[in-house]
Structure 1
């Protein structure tokens, strides 16, 4: 067994096809099949189920590939660590950021970070939470900024800041309160993000929507908070916004905000353990924390809402 064989197996898991994996690895399909077969013979287990159109790991294979990914990653980390010895604050970082954060958070910290560390290169991808976690596991991303907490094997979490939740409504509805308890929310005309977005799960949790269906004449499927704001402005009803979103509202729209008491969304930085880039992550995290309003840096006794991220990679 060698690192190349492990890399071949990980490529096959990622691409789900001997043909695509062989092309990506710049080798022939028979040669890749032989390498995978030799690896399976040596370890005594079948890594992949070949009976389906898409090649998928077996149950034992998934466990092996998780450990194989850690070993391959460790080899890459050793090379990266050698580079950082010569250039402590340089290198490339690939980050995933969830859509309900990316357009509001990235502009706050990006310029200051890159101006202070000109040898640092950032590649940012706007992705859903599960996509970010999967790409971190496969080594396609170095880290991610998502809603936390979570329990996921091999993942470390560093809390960054805490966002309050706000109800956003049409001011003409005649609601003029400054703050409101969640139990007093009117859910009949609540606009929500599309399923699969962790912010929708959080809103469902704080509004107890998991087992009830709010009536709506329009079924509007979207993944953009800006779209929800525009729907409220033009169609009425309400939606729930995280705090960073509210910093982009104009003065008229700010009148439509009502603080929801006692609940916050925790935002954290997630990465694999022992990447060799921890010193760069510390720099990024420090700049992010500095960029948000000071009150958002502390939980202040409020309850963190569960983002609804299921455990995995067991």
Structure 2
């Protein structure tokens, strides 16, 4: 077994095709197939299911590739780490951030961070949770900011802050500033499209699996800002995480009702032993300093499960 074989297997997993992988790796398809077969023979398991049009890992193969990715990345990261030794807080950080956080969180921390560490370069990608985790595992991202907690093999989680949930309702009842979940009219709710972890958290909070419709409109939405505009225009209500409420105008703030005792945990996720832990430390420190102080502690409130499971269990 050698690093080249592991890199070949990881590339095949990422692209799902011997033809595509051989082109990227600049080897012939028979040579790639032989290397993968030799690796499978040596370790005694089939890494890939070849019965479908898209090549995909077997369950055992996926577990092996998780560890293989750690080994391949360790070599690459050792080289990157050596390059940063002359400039302790320089280099590139590639981050994936989920869409329900990115447009509200990045403007809070980006300028102070880069002013303190001018040799640091950030590349931010707005991605769904599973995309963030997959790209971290494959080495395409250094880390991510998602809704946690999660239990994913090979992933290290650092909690950052906690967001309360708010009901955003057009013309709320006068004087009502907090509300129990049981008092929400579920027929009023506009929700994000299925597949977004914030939608899953709202479902969990409300024990609810439907979405608001009217006689002429079914709205498939992937943006919290769009939900806010729908409530403003069409009435009804939606549920917002706390950071999104910081960008509301004075009129819109009157539409907020805080939901009691429920929070969304936001955490930083990365692989083990990346060689960039010193950069993660300054990033996470600045993020925590940039959010309102009450959001930095859980304070006994219940963290809502984001519903993230191992990909082979889902």
Give the TM bin, normalised by the shorter chain. over 0.9
2:30 aligns with: 30
Q: How does 1:124-203 map to 2 (within 5 A)?
A: 124-171=124-171, 174-203=173-202
- Verify the 8 A CA contact 1:153 1:312 in the aligned structure 2: no
Q: 1:174 to 1:44 in 2, by over 3 A?
A: closer
Q: Does 2:213 correspond to 1:216?
A: yes
Residue 222 of structure 1 deviates from its aligned partner by 0.7
1:303 aligns with: 302
Q: 1:119 to 1:214 in 2, by over 3 A?
A: closer
Matched residue of 2:85: which SS? helix
**Structure 2 stretches of 5 or more lacking a match?**
none
Distance 1:297 1:246 in 2: 16
Distance 1:313 1:137 in 2: 14
Q: How does 1:1-314 map to 2 (within 5 A)?
A: 1-171=1-171, 174-210=173-209, 213=210, 216-217=213-214, 218-312=217-311
Q: 1:313 to 1:115 in 2, by over 3 A?
A: farther
For each residue in 1:58-85, what CA deviation from the matched residue of structure 2 results, as whole angstroms up to 9, or x when unmatched? 2332222122111111111221221232
Residue 88 of structure 1 deviates from its aligned partner by 1.1
**Structure 1 stretches of 5 or more lacking a match?**
none
**What is the number of equivalent residue pairs in this alignment?**
311
Distance 1:150 1:79 in 2: 30
Residue 181 of structure 1 deviates from its aligned partner by 1.3
What is the TM-score of this pair, normalised by structure 2? 0.95
Distance 1:174 1:97 in 2: 35
Distance 1:311 1:32 in 2: 28
What is the TM-score of this pair, normalised by structure 1? 0.95
Matched residue of 1:118: which SS? coil
